[in-house]
Structure 1
Amino acid sequence: MTQPTATRTVSALRWFVPSSSPARHLLGTALALVTVVLVFENVSAFRHAQLAAMAYYAIAAAGLTVLTGLNGQISLGHGALMAVGAYTTALLLRDGALPFGVAMLAAMVFTALVGVVVGAAAARLKGPYLAGATLALAVGLPGLAVHFDGLLGGEQGLAVNAPTPTQWFDDAMFFITGTDLGQQKFLAYVAWGTLLLVLLSLANLAAGRYGRMWRAVRDDEVAAALAGIDLGRARVLAFVVSAACAGLAGSVLAMVVGLTAPSGFTIVLSLSLLTAVVVGGLGSLIGAVLGSALLVFLPPTVTDLGTELGLDAVSAAQLAPLVYGIVLVAAMLAAPSGVAGLGRRVWNRVRNGRSEG
């Protein structure tokens, strides 16, 4: 492509793309929503369940991206914060009288309040000390369900009354798609609708004053303090935003799975979320979504492949963690900035090559 042609193409694209960041984010969210509808109407109920799982992982990973990628704090306790949101939702929906949207909002707010307490303590820590403190949170907090078994169900957990679609939403989706909604598809829509709202909010937050403040603290604390930034306040705010996302993710998980139990919120969950953020790309919300897709789709793909190669079901399932670890190491070696960073580099090379051509 010649230089004038490339210039005209870029100019044409700029005519369609809004100049302001909020407008661009809103346009991207609208296009993503259309894509979600098209995908959901052409996949099976099993894929709906997988995509819903990908959504609640991505909500938590997006919040962790703010904390770790933008503000530079390492947290190993987000699985416990998801448990707070999940148990809050299970308790609020126990009688079935409260709308699920109110329960989700309450779970997010309550987890954010927990994040205020934890974040205030964590604001004095950084690096491995912060990781150790949040690790203690991840190990200890789910155990409260066993201690207060009368209220929280103990090891068996609490069953969650999954929401059902309202009549107007069911009719609207039938008018748009021409197909029945169904319970599993409805929960997948709730999960992805929540994810898109979270991504839109965090993208606007990251592009604004708070995002610049968090990046300044991450890059150089001394320079940020000299510029008048309150370091403690910036860390606590990032932790609260991240905790609110974790609580919302836990709320969605509780409704999708239909059960909330301590076994679902172990340290493995916290490590998996951090892995998704690192593999997807630190500081990238799109990277958080890509990393979450890896968490959901890689293990069953490897298990199915092992079964096709002649392994029994147990051996094939045991093969998945090994392959997952290999993929993680390979991704870190091949793309230290994550999948999103690799994609940006490839796109820049293609764009520069077309411009030079």
Structure 2
Amino acid sequence: MPAPKNSPATFNIPLGPVHVALEEPVYFDLQVDGEIIRGATLHSGHVHRGMENLAQHRNLIMNQTLTERVCSLCSNSHAFTYAMVVENALGIEVPERAHYLRTLTEEIKRVASHLFNLAIQAHLCGFESLFMHTMELREIFQDVKESLYGNRMNLAFNCIGGTKFDLDEECFDFLDESINKFMPAYKELMDIFETDPLICARIKGIGLLPKEDALRLGVVGPVARGSGLAIDVRKETPYAAYGKIDFDIIVRDGCDLYARTCVRLHEVIESIKIIRQVMRDIPQGEVRTHMNRIFPSQAIARSEAPRGEVIYYIRTNHTEIPERLKWRVPSYMNWEALGVMLRDAKVADAALITNTIDPCVSCTER
């Protein structure tokens, strides 16, 4: 929606591709009337890597490593969903213990991802002490990842047929101790984000995405759930161990940045609930089924990454190199919603509103 052409205060200003408040290179052309944004046009393509083409020149095992590098914060979700799509295509049955271990790992990554987004939000609000406190709490789960998997970002845990290794009771004891250390401080953090006057003044009533616009644009993840849409792949089409675990879909109907913040805050609590149930109920047994044949087939797989629904499609043939591998990431669906969120907002809030979709340019420009 462009600004009225006859307004003497109307002009265009760039936001990005290099900007102090944007995590990755993306360019917005903002149509501004005074200090109010009347329209926004997104220009992408600055970090295109051609990863889908690379995948069609590598074998199925090599692509496990490639897909984990599509995105850093959602790295496990991509490796997890890629493994599932190959298993669906080749009819591989994954052991039950591996399903539980995959679920545990996914929720550990979800906690760390949500905390990173909340920390950046505090930084953009000018609340630097809250930013540092949130990142300090996130370090507990970064240490968990390093201790359990040997890595802090790309965990390299999933593989076709299950997981690369098992986790023992000593690992679970360490995880339980870390959660007990994390939870009291996290509850204080939640209270600050939900009630502090500085935070509330900056995030309440801005970045509005009405429910009808959320439906029209097909947004996913916390962006959708913050606009009153109870959609979550873990509940709609349960995979791994999610169908055997009790947890709630966190939904808020405020449709603003505050609502999306509350969704992420309370999803961390649900992730902790899932982690504890997995540690309690995980069965004994093997953690991997080996791949023994490749035949022409095609399949899809879906999962709920921290940012929302991830979809993978594969088409195989008689060789170990796929004919086609394609993925759709949540940021791709959520980008268009920024056109609605930014409209009639202040220029000063543009970076803060952009952060509310937890954007990942790298995985969108695959």
- Shorter-chain TM-score: which interval? under 0.3
User: Which protein has the bigger helix share?
Assistant: 1
TM-score (norm 2): 0.27
Structure with more of its chain in strand, by fraction: 2
